[in-house]
């Protein structure tokens, strides 16, 4: 028996290539913004990944130390700019917790509508962009078609399409508009006249009725698509222990099998918004998953998000039912110069990308001593290094994309 190395046919398999450092980003289409990954590769195999962040750092926390809370609300919009409503809500609730304010039922109902519509819009982008990462273009166009209607509805609600500042301290800035013109995208998709006028609630219901059957189409297009399953299932497996130790939250944590959602398990000031609503918290193992799927892999994280969209649609529908009978004002007064107590508090809320925490320290003046924003994407991104060790270069977009990070929130 000769050694394998002496066999001229197999010698090529023993050739080691030199290690190479490859920069992926900060201007790379699949890094979702300005994320730079420094890869140490040996051929196609990645040995080490070092994420470099901070390219979008805008000193939001420093600005927060020089503005009163209502003035800082627009800055929270620009953190996770794909779900500004949820960012506004997290910060407003933290300030309300600090000053001990409880908003009326009507404001809470409007907040549920805004936050859950924002969650749908945020997850739609996450889903579409994940399709792009894996090389399919159609889901992205579909997702943006749906998101466009949500943005049109938000525009009628508060005048803005991306940076809403709609949820503010004490409630929301506007009540639901009485009559609006139907969003053009919705008119086209439902075959209605473009100049039809209807109430905001009717338009929203029209959207929900149209959107609910679309979820099944997405599952056919992506979730159960064999190519998609092969690219995602069994890859990027994040164990439960690792997810907890790395402080992951939201769909990334739930994808690893931790049944935890702040809407149900959070603090009372937040959970009372959702009391009485019927919804489920999707958490693997899923009975309808393809056989290749492993707990905590890319596919699980993606499927959790898709199921959350369906649950958010349910929540919006219930909130619309409640709205006509909801009591109280849509906003309690909070002045720009109102003094904050000599106290401090920390509050986490469930945003589309995970638990967004705000820590506010007051010293008796209207401007906080410290306005800290703990980002969920920041923690979720920190698992990139351990997850991407020893994998193929082509799988990096599949893993980083499944974490669904938004750089604006990481860098603040």
Give residues in contact with other proteins (CB under 8 A).
53-54, 57, 59, 61-62, 65, 97-98, 100, 242, 244-247, 258, 260, 265, 267, 343-346, 348, 355, 357, 359, 361, 363-365, 367, 369-370, 372, 374, 378-379, 382, 411-412
Q: Between residues 128 and 236, which has the closer beta carbon with respect to other proteins?
A: 236
Q: Which residue lies nearer to other proteins by CB, 147 or 263?
A: 263
Q: Minimum distance between the CB of residue 396 and other proteins, rounded to whole angstroms?
A: 19
CB of 261 to other proteins, least distance (A): 12
Beta-carbon contacts of residue 209 (< 8 Å; ≥ 6 apart): none
Separation between Cα atoms, residue 95 and residue 358, nearest integer Å: 9
DSSP designation for 175: P
Tokens encoding 225: 């698509």
Q: How far is the CB of 339 from other proteins (least distance, A)?
A: 9
Toward other proteins, which CB reaches closer, 104 or 247?
A: 247
Q: Is the Cβ of residue 232 or residue 380 nearer to other proteins in the bound state? A: 380
CB of 25 to other proteins, least distance (A): 16
Angle at which helix 138-158 crosses helix 105-133, to 10 degrees, equals: 160
Q: d(Cα 258, Cα 282) in Å, to the nearest integer? A: 10
Q: Which is nearer to other proteins, 323 or 359 (CB)?
A: 359
3-state helix, strand, coil in the chain (%, to 5): 50, 15, 40
Minimum gap (Å) between residue 159 Cβ and other proteins: 32
Q: At residue 222, what are phi and psi to the nearest 5 degrees?
A: -120, -60
CB 118 within 8 A of CB 76: no
Judged by beta carbon, residue 40 or residue 205, the one nearer other proteins is 40
Pick 292 or 363: Cβ nearer other proteins: 363
- Determine the angle formed by the axes of helices 200-211 and 105-133, rounding to 10 degrees: 40
Classify 78 as helix, strand or coil: coil
Q: Which is nearer to other proteins, 219 or 240 (CB)?
A: 240
Closest separation between CB of residue 53 and other proteins, Å?
6
Q: Which lies closer to other proteins via its Cβ, residue 115 or residue 360?
A: 360
Distance of closest approach, residue 354 Cβ to other proteins, in angstroms: 11
Residue number, 128 or 284, with CB nearest to other proteins: 284
d(CA 93, CA 101): 9
Q: What size, in residues, is the chain?
A: 412
CA distance 42 to 393: 10
- Compute the least distance from the CB of residue 247 to other proteins, in Å: 3
Q: How far is the CB of 102 from other proteins (least distance, A)?
A: 14
Q: Please give the C-alpha separations between residue 247 and each of 51, 124, 188, 357, in angstroms, as whole numbers.
A: 17, 24, 44, 12
The 3-state DSSP class for residue 304 equals: helix
Kind plus residue range of the DSSP H or E element containing 377:
helix 376-381
Q: CA distances (Å), 209 to each of 188, 214, 238, 356, in order? A: 14, 9, 36, 30
**How far is Cα of residue 358 from the mean position of the Cα atoms in its chain?**
16
Nearest alpha-carbon partner for 65 in 363, 386, 356: 363
Q: How far is the CB of 103 from other proteins (least distance, A)?
A: 17
């Amino acid at each position: 028996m000769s050694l394998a190395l002496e066999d001229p046919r197999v010698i090529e398999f023993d050739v080691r290539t030199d290690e190479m450092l490859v920069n992926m980003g900060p201007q790379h289409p699949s890094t979702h913004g300005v994320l730079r990954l420094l890869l140490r590769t040996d051929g196609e195999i990645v040995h080490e990944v070092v994420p470099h962040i901070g390219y979008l750092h805008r000193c939001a926390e420093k600005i927060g130390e020089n503005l009163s809370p209502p003035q800082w609300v627009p800055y929270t919009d620009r953190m996770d700019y794909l779900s500004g409503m949820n960012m506004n809500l997290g910060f407003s609730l933290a300030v309300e917790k600090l000053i001990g304010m409880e908003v009326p039922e009507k404001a809470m109902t409007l907040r549920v509508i805004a936050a859950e519509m924002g969650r749908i819009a945020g997850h739609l982008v996450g889903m579409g962009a994940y399709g792009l990462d894996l090389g399919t273009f159609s889901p992205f166009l579909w997702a943006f078609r749906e998101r466009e209607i949500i943005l049109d509805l938000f525009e009628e609600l508060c005048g803005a399409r991306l940076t809403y500042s709609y949820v503010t301290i004490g409630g929301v800035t506007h009540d639901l508009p009485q009559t609006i013109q139907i969003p053009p995208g919705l008119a086209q998709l439902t075959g209605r006249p473009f100049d039809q006028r209807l109430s905001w609630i009717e338009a929203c219901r029209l959207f929900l009725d149209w959107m609910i059957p679309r979820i099944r189409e997405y599952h056919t297009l992506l979730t159960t698509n064999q190519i998609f399953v092969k690219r995602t299932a069994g890859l990027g497996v994040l164990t439960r222990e690792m997810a907890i130790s790395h402080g992951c939250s939201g769909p990334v944590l739930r994808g690893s099998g931790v049944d935890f959602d702040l809407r149900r398990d959070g603090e009372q000031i937040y959970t009372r918004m959702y009391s009485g609503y019927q919804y489920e918290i999707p958490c693997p193992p899923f009975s309808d998953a393809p056989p290749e799927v492993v707990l905590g892999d890319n596919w699980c994280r993606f499927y959790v998000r898709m199921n959350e969209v369906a649950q958010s649609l349910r929540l919006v529908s219930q909130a619309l039912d409640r709205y006509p009978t909801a009591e109280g004002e849509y906003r309690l007064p909070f002045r720009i110069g109102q003094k904050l107590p000599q106290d401090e508090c920390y509050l986490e809320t469930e945003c589309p990308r995970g638990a967004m925490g705000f820590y506010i320290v007051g010293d008796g003046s209207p401007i906080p001593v410290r306005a800290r924003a703990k980002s969920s994407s920041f923690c979720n991104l920190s698992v990139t290094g351990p997850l991407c060790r020893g994998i193929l270069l082509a799988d990096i977009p599949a893993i980083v994309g499944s974490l669904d990070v938004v750089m604006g929130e990481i860098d603040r």
